[in-house]
Amino acid sequence: MDERVTVLIQRGYVILCLGFIFCPILTLIAFSFNVDRFPSLPWKGFSLTWYSAVFEDPTILDAFRNTLIVGAGVAIVSTFLGFTAAYFDFRWNFPWKKLYLAIVVLPPTIPFLILGLALLLFLSRIGLGSSLTGVFVSHVVICTPFALAITRMRLAEMDKGLEEAAWNLGASEWRGVLEVILPFAAPAILASALVTMAVSFDEFMIAWFVSGLDQTLPVKILLLLQGQVSPRINAIGTIVFLISFTLVAIAQIVIFLTRRITE
């Protein structure tokens, strides 16, 4: 077969796959501006009514605020816990370290449906049952592995001698972390905060189980979906998508640029 045709088919297939992945997103964004109530062709007209409907709905705004609060809290705590565990893994070696890592990193591999159920059962017995605090606690469980992975990968790029050099020059262990480890890992810490916030921002299953009357935005979306389909969902969905997309895109760019500089 002609070489050029082969290349064309190959590139075309990749574009097809990307198209499959992005077409629901693009459709959503497009229809959020469609003045017509029903998502169908032909296009009736460009309008921002659904966006204003979203911004005028207090329940949606409340849910959005809750999601932001939880997300910010999760970003801070997950990044912190992920950093401590990453440094622990970087610096020390213990015989049961593999078990430690398994326990700590496993949560995202368990279906959130099951985790949500288990967490509701447990949290309600300690008084965090239907609360945002419960959602916060649960999200830290599933988000910290991401922070750990990102930070650990960055630390792996560091020369171990740097920490020893700091000690040799008079820095105590804690000072060494402050002066050497943190500055070196800073891009990873930033990326971790962004990614964990994005994961928490979009998580709906565990939140559905655990949040009570104070819903997070994804839970609100889930409930809206189970009710009548309204074009407001398109607007909310677009906003939610753009926020997560931005967070993760910035995180990736940060990691990419840092790796470029290190080389």
Partner 1 sequence: MKAAIIWGMPLLVWQCLFFVVPLGLLVAMTFWSVRNFRLSPDLTLRNWNHLLSESYFYVTYFRTLSYSVIASVVGSAFAFPCSYVLAYNVRPSTRRLVTFLLITPFFTSYLVRAYSWQIILSDNGLVNGLLSSLGMGRVPMLNTPIATMIGYLTLFFPLIILLQLVGLSAVDRDLIGAAHNLGAGPLRTIVKVVIPSAKVGLILAATFAFIFAFGDFVSPAQLGGGKAPTLSILIIDTVKSASNWPMASAIALTMIVTLMVVMFGALGAAYGTQRTDRHG
Partner 2 sequence: MTIGAIELRNVAKHFGKFVAVAGISLRVEEGDFAAFIGPSGCGKTTTLRLIAGLEIPTSGDILCRGRKINDDKPWARNLPLVWQNFALFPFLSVEQNVEFGLRMKGIEKTTRQRSVRNWLERVGIAELASRSISELSGGQKQRVALARSLVTEPSILLLDEPLGSLDAHLRILMQSELKALQRELGITFIYVTHNQSEAFAMANKVIIMKDGKVQQIGSPQEVYRAPQNRFVAEFVGTNNLLSGKVSETRSDSIKISTSVGDFVAPIGLQKCRLGDTMTVVVSADVVALSSDEMAAKNRVIGHIRGEEFIGSMITLFLELPDGSVFRVQKQQHEITRLQAQFGSRLCAYWEPASTYLLPN
Site for partner 1 in 171-200 (CB under 8 A): 173, 195, 198-199
Rule CB under 8 A: say whether 123 interacts with partner 1. yes
Report the nearest approach of partner 2 to the CB of residue 137 (Å).
34
Q: Which two tokens stand for residue 192?
A: 């971790």
Q: Which of 33, 64, 87, 184 binds partner 1 (CB under 8 A)?
A: 87
Q: Which two tokens stand for residue 229?
A: 């389909």
* Binding-site partner at residue 65 among partner 2, partner 1, none, CB < 5 to 8 Å by type: none
Q: Which of residues 132-171 bind partner 1 (CB under 8 A)?
A: 137-138, 140-141, 144, 148
Tally Cβ neighbours within 10 Å of residue 246: 12
Q: Which of residues 215-234 bind partner 1 (CB under 8 A)?
A: 218, 221-222, 225, 229, 233-234
Report the nearest approach of partner 2 to the CB of residue 108 (Å).
31
**Separation of alpha carbons 17 and 240, rounded Å:** 23
Name the DSSP class of 34. B
In the numeric block, the tokens 């099951």 are attached to 114
Per-residue binding string, partner 2, 156-175, x by CB under 8 A, is ---x-xx-xxxxxxxxx--x
Rule CB under 8 A: say whether 91 interacts with partner 2. no
Q: Which of 3, 4, 41, 58 binds partner 1 (CB under 8 A)?
A: 41
Peptide bond just before 42 cis, omega within 30 deg = yes
Residue 34: beta bridge partners?
46
* Binding-site partner at residue 112 among partner 1, partner 2, none, CB < 5 to 8 Å by type: partner 1
**Separation of alpha carbons 161 and 180, rounded Å:** 11
C-alpha gyration radius of the chain: 22
Rule CB under 8 A: say whether 240 interacts with partner 1. yes
Per-residue binding string, partner 2, 175-214, x by CB under 8 A, is x---xx--xx-x----------------------------
In the numeric block, the tokens 């949290």 are attached to 123
**Chain-centre distance for alpha carbon 162:** 31
CA dihedral of 36, 39, 40, 44, whole degrees rounded to 10: 20
Q: Which of residues 223-262 bind partner 2 (CB under 8 A)?
A: 261-262
* Binding-site partner at residue 82 among partner 1, partner 2, none, CB < 5 to 8 Å by type: partner 1
Say if CB 139 and CB 200 are below 8 A apart: yes
Say if CB 108 and CB 146 are below 8 A apart: yes
Residues at the site binding partner 2, with contacts judged by CB under 8 A: 159, 161-162, 164-172, 175, 179-180, 183-184, 186, 261-262
